[in-house]
Amino acid sequence: MPSTQKKLQFQDNVRGPGKVPVTLNVNGSSYTLEIEPRRTLLDALRFDLNMTGSKKVCGMGECGACTVLLDGKAIYSCLTLAVECEGNIILTIEGLAQGQNLDPIQKAFVDEEAFQCGFCTSGQIMSVKALLDTNPDPTPEEIRRAMSGNICRCGAYPNIFKAATKAAAAYRKQRPAKKNGGKHGETD
């Protein structure tokens, strides 16, 4: 059945508000999208902006695979509506490396093999990023706490801790002037 005919026949379902324009600032670029208000930030990134690095694993804020930074704070993008993010600075895994140059966190993840299948890795890296941006010299316990919202079913946690520690040292070397921002970047 051709779709035009389907549309003519269709009458009896109300689907809520239609698409609205939203401007998102992602990885330093501005994008204007037409999306339904119910679209999550994660779906907007994946479906509308073709940034598939952030993953949907649970879609319910239980696993952390969709973690991105919103104004520097780690958030679950599956629990955030895209329309709420207008005017915020969004950083995703795609915005971390400069071309072929990996961010020190990414490099540490490769060197320490802080993953197995890699499906949770984007979220893990963004959580480390949020932590180190606010706490450049975290204790092992602070690292564990900061990573406790990111599930890794392959169990790469020990190497994730090593990578975070190594990346912290690299960050301190790279930007020694950076001051401790106070609150740690725990995923909430």
Partner 1 sequence: MAKLIKSKLNWEGTTFERTSVVDDEEPAAWTANAQLNCVGKSHPRIDGFQRVTGLAKYTFDIKLPGMLYAHVLRSPYPHARIKQIDVSKADKFPGVRAVISSLNEAKIFNNVLQFAGDEVAALAADNDDIAEDAINLMEVEYEILPFNADAEPHLISGKLQERQIVAPLDGNPKIYRRGNIQKGFQEADVIVEETFRTQSALHNCLETHGAVASWNGDELTVWESTQSIYHVQKYLAEFFKLPLNKIRVICEYMGGGFGSKQSSGKWSVMAALLAREAGRPVQLMLTRKEENLVTGHRAPTIQRLRLGAKNDGTLTAIDLVAMVNVGANGSLARAVEGPYHSMYNCPNVQTELHSVFTNTGPHGSFRAPGYVEGAFPLESLLDELAKRLKIDPMEIRMKNYAFTDPTTGQNYSAKHLDKCYQRGAEIIGWGQRQSINNKSSILRHGYGMASQTWGGGGGPPAFAWVRLNSDGTAEVNLGSQDIGTGVKTVFAQIAAEELELELDQIVVHIGDTARGPFGPGSGGSMTVASVGPAVRQAAIDARRQLYEVVGGYFEVPADQLRIRKGNVYVLEETKPRMSLQNTIRQLGEFTIIGRGARGANRYGTAVTTFGAQFAEVEVNTITGEVKVQRLVAVHDVGRIMNPIGADGQVAGAVIQGIGYALTEERVIDHATGIILNPNLEDYVLPTALDVPSIDSSFIDDSDIDANGIGAKGLGEPPIIPTAPAIANAIAEAIGIRFLSLPITRAKIIEALQKTGSADGVYP
- In the region spanning residues 89 to 128, those forming contacts with partner 1, defined by CB under 8 A, are 92-94, 96-97, 102, 106-107, 109-111, 113, 115-122, 125
Residues in the interface with partner 1 (CB under 8 A) total 66
Q: Which residues contact 47 (CB under 8 A, 6 or more apart)?
A: 39
- Here the tokens at position 151 are 């599930």
The answer to whether the beta carbons of residues 33 and 82 sit under 8 Å apart is yes
Which C-beta is closer to partner 1: that of 44 or that of 87? Answer: 44
Binder to partner 1 among 60, 84, 169, 188 (CB under 8 A)?
60
- The whole-angstrom separation of Cα 178 and Cα 38 is 38
- The whole-angstrom separation of Cα 74 and Cα 60 is 16
The answer to whether the beta carbons of residues 102 and 92 sit under 8 Å apart is no
- In the region spanning residues 5 to 44, those forming contacts with partner 1, defined by CB under 8 A, are 6-7, 9-10, 12-13, 15, 36, 38-39, 43
- The whole-angstrom separation of Cα 50 and Cα 46 is 5
172 is a site residue for partner 1 (CB under 8 A): no
Which residues form the interface with partner 1 (CB under 8 A)?
Answer: 1, 3, 6-7, 9-10, 12-13, 15, 36, 38-39, 43, 46-47, 50-60, 62-63, 65, 92-94, 96-97, 102, 106-107, 109-111, 113, 115-122, 125, 144-145, 147-148, 150-161
